[in-house]
Amino acid sequence: MVNRFMRAVATAPANIALIKYWGKKDARLRLPANNSISINLSDITTTTAVEFLNELSDDMISIDNETVTGDEKTRISAHLDRIRRMAGIHLRAKVESKNNFPKGTGLASSASGFAALSLAASTSAGLTLSEKELSILARLGSGSACRSIPSGIVEWKAGTSDNSSYAYSLFPANYWNIRDVIAIVGDELKKVSSTEGHAAVKSSPLYKVRIREMPQKLRQIKAAIRNRDFSEFGEICEAEALNMHAVMMTSKPALIYWMPTTLRVMHQIIDWRSSGLESYFTIDAGPNVHALCVADDALKLAGRLSLIEGVRKVIVNLPTDGATLVEGTDLMDY
Ligand code: DP6
Arithmetic mean of pLDDT, 209-229: 98
Arithmetic mean of pLDDT, 152-181: 98
User: 188 with 306, same domain?
Assistant: yes
Residues 6+ positions from 264 with CB-CB distance below 8 Å: 308, 309, 310
Ligand 1 site-directed mutation target among 194, 258, 282, most atoms within 8 Å of CB: 194
Least confident of 176-190, 292-306, 319-333: 319-333
DSSP character at residue 164: G
User: 265 with 329, same domain?
Assistant: no
Instruction: Give me the pLDDT at residue 4, please.
Output: 54
User: 211 with 253, same domain?
Assistant: yes
- pLDDT tens column, 43-74: 999 999 999 999 999 999 999 999 999 999 99
User: 25 with 130, same domain?
Assistant: yes
> If you measure from the C-alpha of residue 16 to the centroid of ligand 1, how many angstroms do you get, rounded to a whole number?
10
Arithmetic mean of pLDDT, 285-304: 97
* Cβ contact 24:32 at 8 Å: yes
User: 152 with 164, same domain?
Assistant: yes
* Cβ contact 166:139 at 8 Å: yes
> If you measure from the C-alpha of residue 18 to the centroid of ligand 1, how many angstroms do you get, rounded to a whole number?
12
User: 91 with 197, same domain?
Assistant: no
Instruction: Give me the pLDDT at residue 1, please.
Output: 43
* Region of residue 66 (left: phi > 0; alpha: psi -120 to 50; beta: else): beta
- 330 band by pLDDT with thresholds 50, 70 and 90: low
User: 64 with 182, same domain?
Assistant: no
User: 206 with 108, same domain?
Assistant: no
Beta pairing class for 166-171 and 153-157: antiparallel
Instruction: Give me the pLDDT at residue 196, please.
Output: 87
Whether residue 37 is predicted with pLDDT greater than 60 in this model: the reply is yes
User: 262 with 290, same domain?
Assistant: yes
Whether residue 205 is predicted with pLDDT greater than 80 in this model: the reply is yes
User: 161 with 71, same domain?
Assistant: yes
Q: Which residue has the higher pLDDT, 103 or 165?
A: 165
Ligand 1 site-directed mutation target among 29, 156, 198, 258, most atoms within 8 Å of CB: 198
Count of domains for the chain: 2
Ligand 1, residues at Cβ distance < 6 Å: 17, 20-22, 30, 36, 110, 142-144, 194-195, 198, 284-285
CATH number of the domain enclosing 130: 3.30.230.10
**Domain range spanning residue 21?**
4-173+321-333
Q: What is the DSSP string of 191-240?
A: SS-HHHHHHTGGGSTTHHHHHHHHHHHHHHHHHHHHTT-HHHHHHHHHHH
User: 160 with 258, same domain?
Assistant: no
> If you measure from the C-alpha of residue 144 to the centroid of ligand 1, how many angstroms do you get, rounded to a whole number?
5
User: 9 with 43, same domain?
Assistant: yes
Can you tell me which atom of ligand 1 is nearest the CA of 36?
18
Arithmetic mean of pLDDT, 185-207: 84
- 117 band by pLDDT with thresholds 50, 70 and 90: very high
Can you tell me which atom of ligand 1 is nearest the CA of 19?
18
Arithmetic mean of pLDDT, 120-125: 97
Instruction: Give me the pLDDT at residue 3, please.
Output: 47
Least confident of 25-39, 109-123, 192-206: 192-206
CA atoms within 13 A on the CB side of 64: 11
Give me the phi and psi of 148, to 5 degrees please.
Answer: -90, 5
Of the chain, the percentage scoring pLDDT greater than 90 comes to 89
CATH number of the domain enclosing 271: 3.30.70.890
Arithmetic mean of pLDDT, 214-231: 98
H or E segment at 182? Answer: strand 178-184
> If you measure from the C-alpha of residue 194 to the centroid of ligand 1, how many angstroms do you get, rounded to a whole number?
6
Closest C-alpha to 284, from 190, 169, 217, 220: 190
Q: What is the mean pLDDT of the chain?
A: 94
Arithmetic mean of pLDDT, 25-54: 97
Whether residue 328 is predicted with pLDDT greater than 60 in this model: the reply is no
Instruction: Give me the pLDDT at residue 56, please.
Output: 95
* Cβ contact 147:38 at 8 Å: yes
